Structure 1
Amino acid sequence: MSWERVCDTSALPVGKGIAAWVAGRAIAIFNLGTQGVYALDNRDPASGVSLLARGQVCELDGELYVCSPLYKQHYRLTTGACLEDPQLRAQKVDIRIDEAGVWLAGA
């Protein structure tokens, strides 16, 4: 697996999502501080629009989700599974952070 450096850790706002272009696709990155850093494909599976990074992060039944700003489906940050429709799934992207910055697994 190849890794691509995206940014310094200081560039990730805490509690919000940002989008990054990695290996030819948009990735949504969510920095939740002590709760971890997560990455999903930025494309909303329900609409096909690249906007998940702009979604509201929430916790439901002890699990972390991002709520799509368009149709309001909730996608689990750890797996990409959709709470409302099991047939929908945002692709999870491997992410790591070290002293050199934020890294995403390439395609």
Structure 2
Amino acid sequence: MSWVNVGDEKNLPQGTGIAAWVAGKAVAIFNLGKDGLFALENTDPVTGVGVLARGLICEMEGELCVASPIYKQHYSLTTGKCIEDANLQATPFEVKTEQGQVFVLAKG
């Protein structure tokens, strides 16, 4: 596994997500300002469509989540687990910043 530079932190819009390619996978990166950066695989677990970066950010059951824009399931930004259905999960990725650059840990 290695850290992949996905760009300058200043280019990440706050309060929403963007998609970036990380080692052949589309990753949704969410910049929540003071709450930090989060990253999930961009693929909606129900439909297989790459749309999670376009989802709405919210808080459910005390957790920061993204609501899939298709069927509106809510996925925890920290664990990727679906709030409504324990059988669904979006793969989480580690994300960090160093000297103003955003890095995502590439898996496998």
- Give the TM-score of the pair, scaled to structure 1: 0.97
Do 2:10 and 2:100's aligned partners in 1 also have CA atoms closer than 8 Å? Answer: no
The separation in 2 between residues aligned to 1:34 and 1:59, in whole angstroms, is 15
Matched, 1:54 2:54: yes
Give the structure 2 partner of residue 17 of structure 1: 17
Q: For residue 61 of structure 1, report the CA deviation from its aligned partner.
A: 2.7
What is the letter of the counterpart of residue 6 of structure 1? V
Structure 1 residue ranges without an equivalent (≥5) = none
Which residue matches 2:2?
Answer: 2
SS, match of residue 34 in structure 1: helix
Number of residues paired by the alignment? 107
Q: Root-mean-square deviation (CA), in Å? A: 0.8
- Alignment partners' CA distance in 2, 1:100 and 1:31: 13
Cα separation, 1, equivalents of 2:59 and 2:2: 31
Counterparts of 2:48 and 2:17, CA distance in 1: 18
Q: Work out the percentage of aligned pairs sharing the same amino acid.
A: 54
Amino acid corresponding to residue 55 of structure 1 in structure 2: G
- The structure with the largest strand share of the pair is 2
- SS of 1:53 mapped into structure 2: helix
Q: Which amino acid aligns with 1:58?
A: C
AA aligned opposite 1:96: K
Aligned to 1:103: 103
TM-score (norm 2): 0.96
Quote the residue 2:86 is aligned against.
86
- SS of 2:34's partner is helix
Q: Which runs of 4+ in 1 moved over 4 A?
A: none
Distance, in Å, in 1 between the alignment partners of 2:60 and 2:48 is 24
Paired residues of 2:30 and 2:53 also in contact (CA < 8 A): yes
Structure 2 unaligned regions, length at least 5: none
